[in-house]
Structure 1
Amino acid sequence: MRMLFLDLDSTSPDHLGCYGYHRNTSPNIDKIAAEGIRFTNYYTSDAPCAPSRTALMTGQFGIRNGLVGHGGTAGDMKLEGEKRELMGRLTRGGALPSYLNLAGNLNTVLISPFAQRHSTFHFYAGFNEIINTGKYGNESAEHVTPVALDWIERNAKKDDWFLYINYWDPHTPYRVPMEYGNPFEHDPLPEWLTEEVLESHKQMVGSHCVHELNIDFVNKTYDNRTHPNFPRHPGDIRDMDGLRRMIDGYDCGIRYMDEHLGRLFASLERQGVMDELIIIISADHGENMGQLGIYGEHATADQGTCRLPMIIRWPGMKQGVVNDDLHLHLDLLPTLAEMIGGPLLPDWDGVSYAPVLKEGASCGRDYAVVSQCAHVAQRSVRFGDWLYIRTYHDGFHLFDEEMLYNLVSDPKERRNVAADNRAVCMEAVYYLNQWHDEMMRRSGDDRDPLWTVMKEGGPFHARGYLKEYAKRLKDTGRGEAADELIRRHPREFPQQAHPAAVMLQQWLSKNMQG
């Protein structure tokens, strides 16, 4: 058995030809999709990068494995504690590569810098061979492909291997070499991105809104600066030309990456192993390209961020199938276990969808809970035609506490219809509570890491940013938004507390001296 897993960072299915995109961004991916199964309602359980890949590898929701953020306590997995054995659970088959190694006798190989990028070294658990491409996830395809081709040319004809490769080109900032050109310069933008939509997005605030597409990690603010090393990536979107620059930058990243995937496939053809090779193509998360007024970021628990491409071509199994059932990416581990005839481990949260691969049968979830705690703190429920989003920390976007979108009539999340559909919201909250109760029962402790994030000051990518961002909002004529953010987040501005609190403090200072 030979298996290739392509992890295409920040790749949205909405921008792939095989998912209906009008631009020719992905001819090589599309060919694999035509030969296999394409899943249309496939989601990460935990976004963005580190939480997603941790859930994928462990087969557990972030609420159980503990890693739901990019910093603080929730930037690490929970310790196994007193029940930890000489070898931890990830070594003993509790991680995807270690399971394939032990149960499938596969040589497991990783080509990725990801563990170093986020200090998530548990990501290495179970890989026999690890090749770090060395740029902390700032690689372009021309850095990754030669390494992958070298491994393929030396090893492809051997039996029993699992090769996991990361590509990064769709991730901001857009870094495709300028000499590549722009194959989409004459193609229309997505139909839904009109001047009217852009004007509505200009009323929004927060990181990666149209006014602030840059994050300044040093001064802890969001701004519109550009970087000379990334001429394809804009600092803001002021008009339709700016919008085109943004969309074209993203699409060029996908097309450039796809052409490099074509080189891998050609090499595998020359090695004579392509016909029998299992190919899995997915991503850690999608990318908001206008959804919720956010561009070029994966900062929410919504459709744009959490819906993934998933394509599986498994020779001898179903071909040319489109599966519309609801699945989570952590369902992959039990699916592979069933496909190779291995045991299903009781501490996995995933549900196998092997019947889809074998028979084209329907076996999806009734509902799925997805979470985001790195840029905002949100939990969402995907069920039926609906996406319900509950916000605990808005990441300075001024989101409503409850948001509800009908993804059939409003797939780009433009109209929050929560107020008009209270019964649907109540059904979603029931599912959310049902899931939360089950996860806490299955956990080895009583800690929900979302609330750890909140206790430690909010999501990592918003923590400490409000003071400078509020100043920028006021300096750019958006003082009302700054005032509302300060009202919502008093912990960030204790000196601007509610007037009643100020009066109480003055009274205490005057009357409680000594």
Structure 2
Amino acid sequence: MNIVLIALDTQRADHLGCYGYPKRTSPFIDSIARRGVLFERCYAPNIPTHPSFTTMLSGKEAITHNIVNIGGGVPIADGVRLLPEILKEHDYVTAAVDSMGRHFSRGFDEYCTYQWDRSNPTMLRKAETVNEKALPLIERLKQQAQPFFLFLHYWDPHTPYLPPPPYDRKFYPKDKDPYDPNNHSMDEAWAWEPFKWYFHDWMPGVTDAEYVINLYDGETAYMDHHLRPIFAALAPIQEETLVIITADHGEVLNEQLGYFDHHGLYEGNVHVPLILYWPGKLPKGRRVPGFVQNLDIAPTLLELAGIRDRDNMEGISLLPGIFGLRNGNYDEVYLSEATWQVKRGLRTERWKFIDSIEQDPHGRPMQELFDLQSDPEEQQNLAVSRPEVVKELKERLDTWVAQRLSETGRCVDPLGEQGKCGTRIGTQRPDDIVGAGATPLHKRQQAAAATIPAPEDLKTPNEVQDETRGVKLHGYVKK
């Protein structure tokens, strides 16, 4: 059995047609979902990118593997192995097209990195860049006598949203002006100091949030189109090849404070797609309705490959759900993040409870409670009006954390220990203005397109020290 794991960075589930989105962002992915198995409620329990991919590839939760944020500089826990290392031990040829480096390169016989061309400041052809590496690699892998594991990492829905034409205006009304000074739907985003100069690099002067959502959806549609040649290349070996499509996390657009980024334990960020495609081996058109997690992917792949789990993975096999023996793996899901803010959460069938360990940089309350049955977009915080629910869920969350710390031999929660690592991105331009009235990108004399910030670029220079603890203050400090 060959395994191809396709990760769509920052792809929220509910902006794909197969998850109910009305816009045609994903006709090809939708066609794969119709022929495969789709998990309706898959969650990424540890976000954003680095913790989520570590969870996905290790089958272990973040308290075990120790990667809780992006730029913390903490190594993966001793003894935690990743899926390619395990498969390589069992005679798999392992290959990746990825740009994360760090521990994510472990276990791969061939680790192909990439950098997309930034010479045109108004567009980035990210998916095509991945395919330039992936398609020749697939041809080489097809010649191998051994089975292979291939990891493909696409970044298209991630900021900066700069899809090439016609995807840049594919979902935006032709008669609308994204720079209309009378449109104030972007005012809050432009007022948020930590991100505004980064936004200014790739959407200067935009006033209409609908236009930015169009760019996000355009990225998805562009990427969807360029997944077609990957599946065409795999077609001759499809009978012996399982393909998984998923994401590390989603994206907050304009429905929450967070403004086109992936911090916040809201549904847009933690509900991710998960589709398994193996014609003739897995059911066609099966939709699994219950809770699963990306934690479950690695143990499922080992089971399908006939490899005994000797790493004590913490995820649960997806196979009973795939073959209709149960509707999901969990009654509730525990969530965490620690890059731009430090929080834990609990998602049940009805409730979402979010508990802050550090003060929210947007000034939100330390506790949030949402009734997802009546308020699926998480707009009404009921923490004050439903204290009995907060008390119950807080106790369950604390009990779960205590149990996990005991199981892993820890005394301190790594979220609180490591703290947030992101404080600011983007470089201020003293002679420029931010927001309405700024010169649009297509009218600027700019040498290169904006790009994804490196982890080391997430900090404000000369962060203020917390004298009582003798460490850098994580967050936004007014002098």
- Relative to the length of structure 1, the TM-score reads 0.75
Among residues 164, 173, 176, which one is paired with 2:151 in the alignment?
164
1:187 to partner: Cα distance: 9.2
Question: Structure 2 vs 1, CA of residues 313 and 438 (structure 1 numbering), >3 Å: closer, same or farther?
Answer: same
Separation in 1, partners of 2:133, 2:255: 35
Is residue 2:210 matched to residue 1:262?
no
Separation in 1, partners of 2:425, 2:204: 21
Among residues 70, 74, 77, which one is paired with 1:76 in the alignment?
74
Is residue 2:112 matched to residue 1:131?
yes
Q: Deviations over 1:322-356 (max 9, x none)?
A: 11211121111122222222223353221222212
| Other-structure match for 2:128 | 142
Letter of the structure 2 residue corresponding to residue 173 of structure 1: P
Q: Deviations over 1:344-399 (max 9, x none)?
A: 33532212222122345324212111111001011000111211111122442011
| Other-structure match for 2:358 | 393
1:188 to partner: Cα distance: 12
Q: How does 1:479-490 map to 2 (within 5 A)?
A: none
Letter of the structure 1 residue corresponding to residue 250 of structure 2: G
Q: Deviations over 1:127-180 (max 9, x none)?
A: 221111145998711211121111123333545111110111110011222465
1:444 to partner: Cα distance: 3.5
Aligned residue pairs, count: 424
Q: Which has the higher contact order (CA 8 A, sep 6+)?
A: 2
Separation in 2, partners of 1:447, 1:136: 43
| Other-structure match for 1:174 | 161
Q: How does 1:451-466 map to 2 (within 5 A)?
A: 451-454=416-419, 459-462=420-423
- Relative to the length of structure 2, the TM-score reads 0.80
Is residue 2:172 matched to residue 1:185?
yes
Quick check: 1:214–1:226 contact (8 Å CA) kept in 2?
no
Letter of the structure 1 residue corresponding to residue 380 of structure 2: R
More helix by share: 1
| Other-structure match for 1:283 | 247
Quick check: 1:213–1:235 contact (8 Å CA) kept in 2?
no
Separation in 2, partners of 1:372, 1:493: 17
Among residues 197, 200, 206, which one is paired with 1:226 in the alignment?
200
Letter of the structure 1 residue corresponding to residue 421 of structure 2: F
| Other-structure match for 1:508 | none
Q: How does 1:79-94 map to 2 (within 5 A)?
A: 79-80=77-78, 89-90=79-80, 94=81
Question: Structure 2 vs 1, CA of residues 109 and 495 (structure 1 numbering), >3 Å: closer, same or farther?
Answer: closer
Structure whose CA Rg is larger: 1
Quick check: 1:97–1:126 contact (8 Å CA) kept in 2?
yes
Quick check: 1:210–1:294 contact (8 Å CA) kept in 2?
no
| Other-structure match for 1:45 | 45
Separation in 2, partners of 1:393, 1:285: 21
Separation in 2, partners of 1:416, 1:18: 29
Percent identity between the two aligned chains: 29
1:182 to partner: Cα distance: 2.6
Is residue 2:98 matched to residue 1:112?
yes
Q: How does 1:237-316 map to 2 (within 5 A)?
A: 238=207, 242-269=208-235, 272-315=236-279, 316=281
- Unaligned 5+ segments in structure 1 are 81-88, 116-120, 190-197, 216-221, 466-471, 474-485, 497-514
Is residue 2:42 matched to residue 1:56?
no
Question: Structure 2 vs 1, CA of residues 34 and 495 (structure 1 numbering), >3 Å: closer, same or farther?
Answer: closer
Indicate the SS of the match to 2:133. Answer: helix
Separation in 2, partners of 1:31, 1:183: 20
Indicate the SS of the match to 1:334. Answer: helix
Separation in 2, partners of 1:55, 1:495: 35
Letter of the structure 1 residue corresponding to residue 98 of structure 2: S
Letter of the structure 1 residue corresponding to residue 401 of structure 2: H
Quick check: 1:389–1:403 contact (8 Å CA) kept in 2?
yes
Separation in 1, partners of 2:161, 2:476: 35
| Other-structure match for 1:86 | none
1:38 to partner: Cα distance: 1.0
Q: Deviations over 1:289-313 (max 9, x none)?
A: 1232333200112211111111111
Question: Structure 2 vs 1, CA of residues 369 and 453 (structure 1 numbering), >3 Å: closer, same or farther?
Answer: same
Separation in 2, partners of 1:441, 1:214: 36
Quick check: 1:46–1:371 contact (8 Å CA) kept in 2?
yes
Quick check: 1:376–1:462 contact (8 Å CA) kept in 2?
no
Q: How does 1:377-392 map to 2 (within 5 A)?
A: 377-392=342-357
Quick check: 2:295–2:315 contact (8 Å CA) kept in 1?
yes
Quick check: 2:162–2:168 contact (8 Å CA) kept in 1?
no
- Which one is further off, 36-45 or 273-282? 273-282
Separation in 2, partners of 1:430, 1:187: 51
Question: Structure 2 vs 1, CA of residues 412 and 157 (structure 1 numbering), >3 Å: closer, same or farther?
Answer: farther
Separation in 2, partners of 1:36, 1:399: 40
| Other-structure match for 2:384 | 419
Separation in 2, partners of 1:35, 1:168: 25
- Which one is further off, 19-28 or 141-150? 141-150
Separation in 2, partners of 1:258, 1:111: 17
Quick check: 1:371–1:379 contact (8 Å CA) kept in 2?
yes
Indicate the SS of the match to 2:256. Answer: helix
- Which one is further off, 363-372 or 344-353? 344-353
Question: Structure 2 vs 1, CA of residues 129 and 432 (structure 1 numbering), >3 Å: closer, same or farther?
Answer: same
Q: Deviations over 1:200-224 (max 9, x none)?
A: 985x6xxxx3534973xxxxxx447
Letter of the structure 2 residue corresponding to residue 226 of structure 1: H
| Other-structure match for 2:440 | none
Is residue 2:412 matched to residue 1:447?
yes
Q: Deviations over 1:440-471 (max 9, x none)?
A: 112143232111134xxxx1112799xxxxxx
Quick check: 2:127–2:226 contact (8 Å CA) kept in 1?
yes
Question: Structure 2 vs 1, CA of residues 256 and 432 (structure 1 numbering), >3 Å: closer, same or farther?
Answer: same
| Other-structure match for 1:358 | 323
